[in-house]
Structure 1
Amino acid sequence: MADPPKLLGPSPLYTLRLDRRPKLEHLRSDERFARELRALLRANLDMRCKDFAGPDRWYQPHGTNGWQKIPQLFDNPIGHEELRAWCDRERAKLRAGVDLNELVRLIGRFVHVGVAVDVLLKDAEAAREFAAVDVMALLMAEMPEGVSRVEASERLEKLQPDHHSADGDVTTHRIRKALRKLDEPTVSRGTHAVAMAANCRVGLERLVRRFTPAEDAESGEAAPQQDGAPEVRVSRAAECRLQELGRPLPVPTGLLPRLTQETRAPKGDAASARPRYRSEKDWWPSLQPAALAGRVAAGADCLAADPSGLAGEPHLLALPRIAAWLAYRTPAGDPLRPAIGTAISRLRTELTTAPGPLIVVSLQDNYLMSEPPSTRTLTAHPAVTRVADKTHSMSHLRVDPAALKGPDDPLLESLDDYLDSPSLYQWLPSPSGLPAIADLRLLLSDDFAALGEHLLTDGDRSPGWEQHPAHSVPHLVDECAKIYGLGEDAAALYLMLLALPDPTDRNVKEWTGWKPARFKAAETELGASHLVLRAIRPRAGRALFLPGAWHERKPPRLPIEASKLGLVPLARERRSTSHMAAVPSGPLPGLFTRAWEGRKPR
């Protein structure tokens, strides 16, 4: 294995395991396999894999059927690097000049990578380059003789984007009708060209919007011009976008790679349409972390309708856990934090206005394995109703928050028990793409309300990570150091181990800014005390642990000490919580205080 072969065979690189090398869990962990990984990534992006033969067949320029999240194979440093390098190569092809057929394929490849454009590839210069493409000029190069530019333009303006097959046979009669003046021997060529131009025009507009950074889209500023390029300004696309669809959601793109890593969409079978609605597609709510994060970042407008339809319908129970996650992953002084606080305040206000029953989970009507547990015990509670869906073979469990006593209401525990039932196979998440029981419990909690108030006053605090006790609760660090005879750094590290759900070595270094030598000194001093134990535990990311029971967790969650479950309710292992990394529900200074009060000597 020291000199890997040119082709490793059919096993996917990110799942192939090496039993004889226990320290090497995945091939991706060894730099010597970077060659094979890069080759596979490039073949996928260039659509040269056997699964992508004939790219026109799968990805039309106006399509939206690309990646909804960055695939695991690409969601790593090598994958991100290859995506950016691939984008540069595609832009170079565009600058070198393409015909209409080549443009179709080029835009189709960007449709294929989907959300990667939003997360990794935003670039004002790229937006300007695509905005500068003259589709009419490329169309005229393909049109039969006898058709003037004016005639072609008039026909193109009447057409909406539509599917067409690779051989030029168009599935709609509208395009042929638009070219009815042409002789039949040339109509197929002209039909195919106009169809591709209509699709490319819409695809280019979407791509320009996706490439344009949020700040440019809001300000209407143009990307820098290049010599020899047509004077096409990105502001034109931004202006159209603002007029037709409103301002884009302020998606915090810098946090999206980590948010994608720390969320997992539930898996299951989509609900089929009822016989009367066979034309409807099967229903499974899509998890869109970027859209949810963008809604939270919108502050007071987090529940406003999105005219573009890209963010889906606003749902009260879609945002609480995303808001808590964003608060935990941003340091004090980050401009996003007041917006998160405003969003939490808006959610709490909506809760007090009696929003009525809210969907927390859905159940399939067609049972492949066995009938699910009865919901009679749940629906006997006045807060719970089970309502059949009108168009699909499923029903929705809905809960009225006004009928609950708070986050500790026994009904919420009963709902979790029901969802965790081993015989419940075919359940579906709430419209947000995740089970909403945990979001409802969080929304009802006083800690969440306090978190919103804490973030609203974030501007009054000095910048820095609140996960570092020396920054957020220095008096506790002094008290801990004095009682246990520890240095300041060792005391701060102990408080992080006491309170936080993820005090990995990497996270601690990020929060504190400690260099390796300083971190090692603090860890060594604390490890020599009686307060912690040193061990090797899978996926822990650290070597020091609190004494007591240890709970394993599956990705995207980290394993955790049992003593922290009361401090971090979202760390409890339930189906309703298992699809997101656990984060605290309230302000970190309060969390440190509770953890210390529960552990310090009396």
Structure 2
Amino acid sequence: MWAERLDGVVRLPEDLAGELSLAGLATGSVEEVLNPRRTPWISRTTALRPDKDGRLVPDDPRALPGRHHLTRAVTALAGLAYSLPYGHPLRAVLPAGLAALRRRVADPELLLDLDLEWTEKGSSTAVELRKAYGMPATGGAGAHGLTPVGEALVLRPWYGDQEAVLVRTGALTTADDPVFGLVEGIVGTARGDGMRALRTILGDELARALAAGTDAEGPAGYAQDPSLCVPGLVTEVAGAHGLGEDAAALYLQLLALPDPTDRNCARWTGWKPARMRKARAELAATGLVVEAKRARAGRTLFLPCGWLDLKSPGLPVEVWKQALYPVGGHSRAVPLMPVPELFTRAWERVRAGDAPAYEELTTRATRKGRRR
């Protein structure tokens, strides 16, 4: 059975739970988004009130999302959307998880600590926000000592004369709200995970990825098999590079996917070893890929470009792919968009002249030494 339902609880099948754990995804976070009505921080709301020391505390602590809850939830949903084959029964419950997250962050009373206290340079984010909004360096506090910064950001007293930054998520209704860009520009990428997760929840890429593969009349199988999900694109790539369709499909996997290991490609396509060897040999004979041995890669064919040797549980990946999905962190890269769109976007980059390539080093010629 794909999932065990006990009193309405959706549980992961053991094989999928193991696969997601290897990818660095916490099973607990996955089951939270599969069962949003049973997850307090998603399904419940709570009021925040000042305690005797002036700190905001929730009436119901379990109903307040913690600093990393949104990030883990988005990672879990994206991991499920990427890992589950199209037509898998579990895919049917994924959109409800995102819908529940959207309802939770739409709560007008919700204030979240998303780890935004410090800028990329180590200075106070609150100071920079006051400057950006043309506010005085101090003052402006209202009820409970909170200082509104626009509609979506709030400053609260912290240590000494420092101020912490809270996010009023309900004031952010679209992923293109300029507040996201402003905050990322101030705090940088290292501390921006929470805001990026919120932006993903509000955006449409993840929503499309979660909705994909739920049509009973659509193709069933792994979307990572281009021959299944984008057969027309496989034909186009084959014609453009003079390849057989199997070699073209393998090239698209190497071009677009974060984890095209030999084992994964065989599992996704269902090809027998002889067929896989033939496609690999044909592709290796072109200039589209390079053949090499690299630690923890799980494959011998690579795009001709820089290489990110990420630490476990991350999987090493080509630098070129950083423009397709988030790469780095403490888990494997997982695309946020539907896999068919990922194949199309990667190929469009190639057609536009942005094919994988090693960067050319530009150096100045050295002056010859004077004769003595």
Q: What TM-score, normalized to structure 2?
A: 0.70
Is 1:552 aligned with 2:289? no
Equivalent residues, number: 303
Work out whether 1:406 is the aligned partner of 2:163: no
1:520 and 1:314 map into 2 onto residues whose CA distance is 52
1:198-597 aligned at under 5 Å gives the runs 214-215=4-5, 217-218=6-7, 247-263=8-24, 289-298=26-35, 303-304=42-43, 313=63, 315=65, 317=70, 318-351=72-105, 354=108, 356-361=110-115, 373-375=123-125, 376-378=127-129, 382=150, 383-387=152-156, 397-401=165-169, 402-403=171-172, 406=175, 409-414=180-185, 416-417=187-188, 419=190, 435-455=193-213, 457-568=214-325, 570-571=326-327, 573=328, 578-597=329-348
Deviation at residue 262 of structure 1 after TM alignment:
2.3
Q: Which amino acid aligns with 1:400?
A: R
Deviations 1:3-38 (A, max 9, x none): xxxxxxxxxxxxxxxxxxxxxxxxxxxxxxxxxxxx
8 A contact 2:43–2:100 mirrored in 1: no
* Mapping 1:107-256, distance limit 5 Å: 214-215=4-5, 217-218=6-7, 247-256=8-17
Partner AA of 1:406 in structure 2 = A
> Quick one: structure 1 residues 487 and 386, their matched pair in 2 at CA, closer, same or farther if it must change by over 3 Å?
same
Q: Is the 8 A contact 1:299 1:340 kept in 2?
A: no
Distance, in Å, in 2 between the alignment partners of 1:418 and 1:495 is 29
Q: Which has the higher strand share?
A: 2
In 2, distance between residues paired with 1:519 and 1:416?
Answer: 46
Q: Provide structure 2 residue ranges, at least 5 long, that are not aligned to the other structure.
A: 45-61, 134-149, 354-372
Q: 1:438 to 1:505 in 2, by over 3 A?
A: farther
Instruction: Tell me how far 1:515 sits from its aligned partner.
Output: 2.0
Q: Specify whether residues 412 and 404 from structure 1 end up closer, same or farther in structure 2 by C-alpha distance, changes over 3 A only.
A: farther
Distance 1:599 1:388, change over 3 A: same
Of structures 1 and 2, the one with the larger relative CO (CA 8 A, separation 6+) is 2
Offset of residue 350 of structure 1: 4.5
- How far the C-alpha of 1:507 sits from its partner, in A, is 1.2
SS in 1 for 2:313: coil
SS state at 1:331 partner: coil
Question: In structure 1, what residue type is equivalent to 2:93?
Answer: A
Q: How many Å apart are 1:557 and its aligned residue?
A: 1.4
CA contact (8 A) 1:466 1:588 kept: yes
Displacement, 1:300? 6.7
1:567 and 1:259 map into 2 onto residues whose CA distance is: 21
Change (3 A) 1:458 1:292: farther
How far apart in 2 are the matches of 1:483 and 1:372? 49
DSSP 3-state at the match of 2:221: coil
Root-mean-square deviation (CA, aligned residues, Å) is 3.4
Structure 1 or 2: larger helix share?
Answer: 1
Aligned partner letter, 2:334: V
Question: For residues 489 and 314 of structure 1, do their structure 2 counterparts lie closer, same or farther at Cα, with a shift above 3 Å needed?
Answer: farther
Paired with 2:226 and 2:163, the residues of 1 have a C-alpha distance of: 47
SS of alignment partner, residue 360 of structure 1: coil
TM-aligned CA distance change 1:478 to 1:301, over 3 Å: farther
Compared CA separation, residues 314 and 509, structure 1 to 2 (3 A): farther
CA deviation after TM superposition for structure 1 residue 549, in Å: 2.3
Q: Percent identity?
A: 36
Opposite residue 197 of structure 2, the aligned amino acid is D
Deviation at 1:372, TM superposition (A): 5.3
Deviation at 1:488, TM superposition (A): 1.3
CA contact (8 A) 1:548 1:562 kept: yes
Cα 1:386–1:580, aligned 2, differ >3 Å: closer, same or farther?
Answer: farther
CA deviation map 1:543-592 (0-9, x unaligned): 11112222232222122222211211x22x4xxxx122211111111111
1:437 maps to a residue whose letter is: M
- Alpha-carbon deviations, 1:72-121, whole Å to 9, x = none? xxxxxxxxxxxxxxxxxxxxxxxxxxxxxxxxxxxxxxxxxxxxxxxxxx
Counterpart secondary structure, 1:565: helix
Per-residue deviation, residues 434-479 of structure 1 (Å, max 9, x unmatched) = x523322322332123223335x43332320000000110111111
- The answer for unaligned runs of 5 or more in structure 1 is 1-212, 219-246, 265-288, 306-311, 365-370, 421-428, 430-434
The Cα shift of 1:600 comes to 3.1
**Bigger CA radius of gyration:** 1
Matched AA of 1:304? S
Instruction: Provide TM-score, normalisation by structure 1.
Output: 0.45
- In the TM superposition, residue 536 of structure 1 has moved relative to its aligned partner by 2.2
Over 3 Å counting, the alpha-carbon distance change for 1:534 and 1:458 in structure 2 is: same
